[in-house]
Amino acid sequence: MASTSQAAATRFIILTTQRSGSNWLADRLRSHPQVEVDGELFRRSQGSADTYYSWQHRSTVGSVLSTALPAVSKNRYLAVRFGNPALPATGFRLMYDQLRRNPSLLVSLPHHDFSVLHLVRENVLDTHVSALAANASGKFISRGRRGTAEPVVVPTSDLVEQLERRMRLIRRHRRLVEQVSHLEVIYEEAVADPSDHDHCILSFLGVDTSIPLSSGLKRLLPPQTSDRIANLSEVTNVLANTAFAKFLKRHGDFAQ
Write out pLDDT tens, residues 65-88.
Answer: 666 677 888 888 899 889 888 899
The average pLDDT across 22-46 equals 93
Write out pLDDT tens, residues 138-183.
Answer: 665 666 555 556 788 999 999 999 999 999 999 999 999 998 999 9
Write out pLDDT tens, residues 99-121.
Answer: 999 998 998 999 999 999 999 99
Q: Is the pLDDT of residue 254 over 50?
A: no
What is the reported pLDDT for 93? 97
The average pLDDT across 246-252 equals 69
Range name among 156-170, 208-222, 230-244 with the lowest pLDDT average: 208-222
What is the reported pLDDT for 64? 64
Residue 118, beta-bridge partner list: 15, 184
Closest alpha carbon to 198 in 216, 183, 180: 183
End-to-end CA distance of the chain: 20
C-beta of residue 179 within 8 angstroms of C-beta of residue 144: no
Q: Is the pLDDT of residue 59 over 80?
A: no
Sheet with 182-186: strands ordered across: 35-40, 89-95, 11-16, 114-120, 182-186
* SS3 of the chain: CCECCCCCCCEEEEEECCCCCHHHHHHHHHCCCCEEEEEECCCCCCCCCCCHHHHHHCCHHHHHHHHHCHHHHHHHHHHHHHCCCCCCEEEEEEEHHHHHHCCCHHHHHHHCCEEEEEEECCCHHHHHHHHHHHHHHCCCCECCCCCCCCCECCCCCCHHHHHHHHHHHHHHHHHHHHHCCEEEEEHHHHHHCHHHHHHHHHHHHCCCCCCCCCCCCECCCCCCHHHHECCHHHHHHHHCCCCCHHHHCCCCCCCC
